[in-house]
C-alpha cells in the first residue's frame, strides 16, 4: 500500500486548525502543493493509496473537495482521538441551533450576527463553500468563546479567551458531546479527560506533538505493513515524528519549493532517516546533494515534476493582438526595467503586441516599481500618437489612449495561471530557475518559453529559447513571433513533450524508483 502524509500546516503549532474565512486571510495563497498533485494523479489513474492526516482539520472534507481529492481514502489522527467517523459534509443551519426566542439575526456581506441583548451577541463566520466555520461569543463587547464546527455538521472544539481576549484554553470534543482533551494554548500542555484516560498512556502531555506521536505510533503498529511505501511532505515540524515511527517501512520525503520549512541544515537533517528524497527543482536537488555528500549519506535522490502536463487550448492564433507574458515574481526592478525597454521596441516594430505581467501577488499589493513600468509603457505610446508606426493600430482600435499596451495580471492560484496562458503567444521567465508549474503549463498549452536557464522542460529552439543575457531577448522574441514556422514547430514539439509528463508516466517513473528498478535519477 502507498500512503501519503501531507503537511497542510500554517504555523509553528502545526497541529492547530487555522482555517479562516476567505475575507480574514490577508494575503491570498495557493493551497496547492506536491502531495495534492501526486495524490490527484493516483486518483486519476485509479491507483489505490491512503492519506494520513496528522493535524486537526475540521474542514478536511471541504478542503479535499476543493482539490478534487474528495474520493481519496484517508485516516485522520484527530478523528481517531475524538471518535468521529467518515461522513459526507453537512451544512449546519444556524437558525436551528438553540437560540433564545428573542434572538435577532443581522446579515452583512461577510458574516451573520446573532444579537441576544445589548450585552451579548454572537458572530457567525462561514467558509467560501458556505459551511459554518465558527461562532464567537461577545459579552460586554469582549470576546469570550469560539465554537468551531466540523464540516460534517457537528461541534468539533471550542476555545475560551482570558480577560485580555487572548485564547487561553481549547477543548476537543467527542461524538457524544464530551470534551476529551484540554489544551492550554499558552503553555501548550494537554490534559486528558478522566473519562477517556484509559485510551491514553498519560493523563498529561507537555504538548500536542507528544499526543500525536503516541497515537501515530499505535496506528503504524496496528495498520501499516513493512512493505508499505510512505511518501511524506518534508516539513521540519513533523519529520522527526514520522521518521521515528516508520523505521520498518520504505519512507520517502518529498521536497517542494514553496514549502520552505526544510531548507535549513536542521530541516534537511530531519529527513536523514527517510531513505528516499524526492525533489521538484534543480535548486532543491543541489541543496540535498551537497548535504548528502557533506555528511556521507546514502539516501537516494530523484528529481521529478510533481505536476503533470495537461493539454489546454491556446487561443492566441485567433486574436488580433499578440500577447507576451512576463513572469515577474522573483524579478528585481532593474531586470524588469531592461525587459520592458526591450518589449517597447517590440511594440514599435509590431504595434499589435501587448505585454502581460504575471504575478501570484494580488493586484492591489503589487510593488510600485511594477506599476511604474506599466505606466512607462502607456505614457511612451501616448506621446507617439502621430507616429506612423501606430497608424494601422489606431485605425483598428481607436486612439492610443484607449489601448492597453501593458497590464498586470494576478494569478494567485494554479487555475488562474492555466487560464492566463490560454491567450498568450509567448512566455518570458528570466528567474534563476524558471517557475516549475508555469513551465509545465506552457508545455500543455504548446507555448514557447524564453529563459535564462536550461531545464528539462525547455529545449533551445524547439519549445523555447535559452538566452545568455537580457540583451539577447529581441533575438528570442523574433525567433518565435517573426517566423510562424518556428512557433508551429514549438507547438508540435511541446505536444510531443507533454506525453512524457502525463500523470501515468510520472507515476510509473516514481514507482520504478521506489521499487528499486532505477537507482536515483531525474525525470
Residue 522 has pLDDT above 50, yes or no: no
At 319 the pLDDT is 96
CATH 3.40.50.2000 fits 316-389+401-501, yes or no: yes
pLDDT by residue (tens digit) across 251-271? 999 999 888 877 788 889 999
d(CA 236, CA 59): 24
CA proximity to 188, closest of 168, 160, 159, 216 = 168
Q: Which residue has the higher pLDDT, 449 or 391?
A: 449
Say if CB 329 and CB 359 are below 8 A apart. Answer: yes
At 388 the pLDDT is 53
The residue extents of the domains of the chain are 2-88+210-303, 94-194, 316-389+401-501
- Set of cell numbers at residue 83: 471518535
Say if CB 427 and CB 325 are below 8 A apart. Answer: yes
d(CA 325, CA 478): 15
- Set of cell numbers at residue 418: 492555466
Q: Name which of 223-227, 259-263, 285-289, 378-382 the model is least confident about.
A: 259-263
pLDDT category, 521, cuts 50, 70, 90?
very low
At 394 the pLDDT is 57
2-88+210-303 and 316-389+401-501, same CATH topology: yes
Cα-Cα-Cα-Cα torsion 8, 10, 13, 14, nearest 10 degrees, comes to 10
pLDDT by residue (tens digit) across 69-101? 999 999 999 999 999 999 999 999 999 999 999
Residue 212 has pLDDT above 90, yes or no: yes
User: Looking at residue 206, what DSSP letter applies?
Assistant: S
Helix or strand (DSSP H, E) at 441: helix 436-445
DSSP string over 226-289? TT-EEEEE--TTTHHHHHHH-SSSEEEEEP-TT--TT-SHHHHHTTTTSSEEEESSHHHHHHHH
At 395 the pLDDT is 58
pLDDT by residue (tens digit) across 93-120? 999 999 999 999 999 988 999 999 999 9
DSSP string over 78-91? HHHHHT--------
At 199 the pLDDT is 97
Q: Which residues pair with 53 in a beta bridge?
A: 76
Q: Which residue has the higher pLDDT, 29 or 14?
A: 14
d(CA 63, CA 57): 9
Residue 214 has pLDDT above 90, yes or no: yes
Residue 19 has pLDDT above 90, yes or no: no
DSSP string over 112-123? EEEE-SSSEEEE
pLDDT by residue (tens digit) across 145-203? 999 999 999 999 999 999 999 999 999 999 999 999 999 999 999 999 999 999 999 99
- Set of cell numbers at residue 265: 541544515
| Fold adopted by 2-88+210-303 | Rossmann fold (3.40.50)
Please state whether 323 falls in left (phi above 0), alpha (psi between -120 and 50) or beta. beta
Distance of CA 84 to the CA centre of its chain: 27
pLDDT by residue (tens digit) across 465-518? 999 999 999 999 999 999 999 999 999 999 999 999 999 999 999 999 998 754
Residue 523 has pLDDT above 90, yes or no: no
- Percentage of the residues of the chain whose pLDDT score is greater than 90: 87
**What pTM, to 2 d.p., does this model score?**
0.92
Say if CB 33 and CB 254 are below 8 A apart. Answer: no
Residue reference for cell 489601448:
403
Q: Name which of 58-62, 247-251, 335-339, 513-517 the model is least confident about.
A: 513-517
Residue 399 has pLDDT above 60, yes or no: no
Amino acid at each position: 500500500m502507498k500512503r501519503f502524509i501531507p503537511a497542510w500546516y500554517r504555523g509553528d503549532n502545526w497541529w492547530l486548525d487555522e482555517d479562516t474565512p476567505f475575507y480574514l486571510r490577508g494575503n491570498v495563497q495557493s493551497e496547492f502543493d506536491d502531495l495534492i498533485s501526486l495524490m490527484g494523479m493516483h486518483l486519476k489513474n485509479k491507483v489505490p493509496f491512503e492519506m494520513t492526516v496528522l493535524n486537526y482539520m475540521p474542514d478536511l472534507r471541504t478542503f479535499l473537495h476543493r482539490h478534487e481529492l474528495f474520493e481519496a481514502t484517508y485516516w485522520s489522527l484527530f478523528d481517531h482521538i475524538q471518535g468521529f467517523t467518515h461522513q459526507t459534509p453537512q451544512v449546519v443551519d444556524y437558525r436551528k441551533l438553540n437560540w433564545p426566542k428573542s434572538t435577532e439575526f443581522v446579515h452583512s456581506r461577510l458574516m451573520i450576527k446573532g444579537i441576544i441583548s445589548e450585552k451579548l451577541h454572537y458572530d457567525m463566520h462561514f467558509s467560501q463553500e458556505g459551511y459554518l466555520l465558527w461562532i464567537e461569543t461577545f459579552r460586554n463587547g469582549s470576546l469570550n468563546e469560539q465554537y468551531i464546527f466540523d464540516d460534517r455538521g457537528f461541534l468539533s472544539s471550542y476555545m475560551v479567551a482570558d480577560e485580555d481576549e487572548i485564547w487561553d484554553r481549547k477543548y476537543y470534543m467527542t461524538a457524544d458531546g464530551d470534551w476529551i482533551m484540554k489544551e492550554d494554548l499558552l503553555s501548550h500542555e494537554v490534559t486528558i479527560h478522566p473519562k477517556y484516560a484509559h485510551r491514553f498512556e498519560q493523563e498529561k502531555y507537555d504538548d500536542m506533538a507528544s499526543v500525536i506521536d503516541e497515537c501515530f505510533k499505535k496506528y503504524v503498529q496496528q495498520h501499516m505493513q513493512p512493505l508499505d511505501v510512505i511518501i511524506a511532505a518534508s516539513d521540519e515540524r513533523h519529520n522527526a515524528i514520522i521518521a521515528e515511527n516508520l523505521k520498518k517501512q520504505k519512507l520517502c520525503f518529498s521536497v517542494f519549493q514553496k514549502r520552505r520549512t526544510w531548507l535549513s541544515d536542521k530541516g534537511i537533517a530531519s529527513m536523514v532517516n527517510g531513505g528516499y528524497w524526492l525533489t521538484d527543482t534543480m535548486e532543491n536537488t543541489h541543496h540535498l546533494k551537497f548535504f548528502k555528500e557533506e555528511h556521507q549519506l546514502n539516501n537516494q535522490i530523484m528529481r521529478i515534476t510533481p505536476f503533470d502536463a495537461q493539454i489546454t487550448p491556446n487561443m492566441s492564433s485567433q486574436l488580433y493582438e499578440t500577447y507576451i507574458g512576463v513572469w515577474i515574481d522573483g524579478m528585481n526592478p532593474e531586470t524588469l526595467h531592461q525587459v520592458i525597454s526591450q518589449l517597447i521596441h517590440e511594440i514599435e516594430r509590431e504595434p499589435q503586441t501587448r505585454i502581460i505581467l504575471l504575478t501570484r501577488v494580488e493586484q492591489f499589493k503589487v510593488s510600485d516599481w511594477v506599476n511604474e513600468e506599466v505606466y512607462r509603457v502607456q505614457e511612451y505610446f501616448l506621446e507617439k500618437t502621430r507616429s506612423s508606426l501606430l497608424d494601422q493600430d489606431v485605425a483598428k482600435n481607436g486612439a492610443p489612449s484607449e489601448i492597453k499596451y501593458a497590464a498586470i495580471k494576478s494569478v494567485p492560484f494554479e487555475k488562474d495561471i492555466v487560464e492566463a496562458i490560454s491567450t498568450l503567444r509567448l512566455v518570458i521567465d528570466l528567474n534563476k530557475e524558471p517557475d516549475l508549474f508555469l513551465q509545465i503549463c506552457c508545455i500543455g498549452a504548446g507555448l514557447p518559453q524564453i529563459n535564462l536557464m536550461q531545464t528539462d522542460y525547455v529545449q533551445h529552439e524547439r519549445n523555447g529559447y535559452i538566452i545568455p543575457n537580457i540583451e539577447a531577448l529581441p533575438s528570442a522574441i523574433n525567433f518565435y513571433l517573426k517566423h510562424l514556422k518556428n512557433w508551429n514547430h514549438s507547438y508540435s514539439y511541446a505536444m510531443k513533450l507533454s506525453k512524457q509528463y502525463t500523470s501515468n508516466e510520472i507515476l510509473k517513473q516514481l514507482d520504478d524508483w521506489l521499487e528499486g528498478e532505477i537507482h536515483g535519477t531525474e525525470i
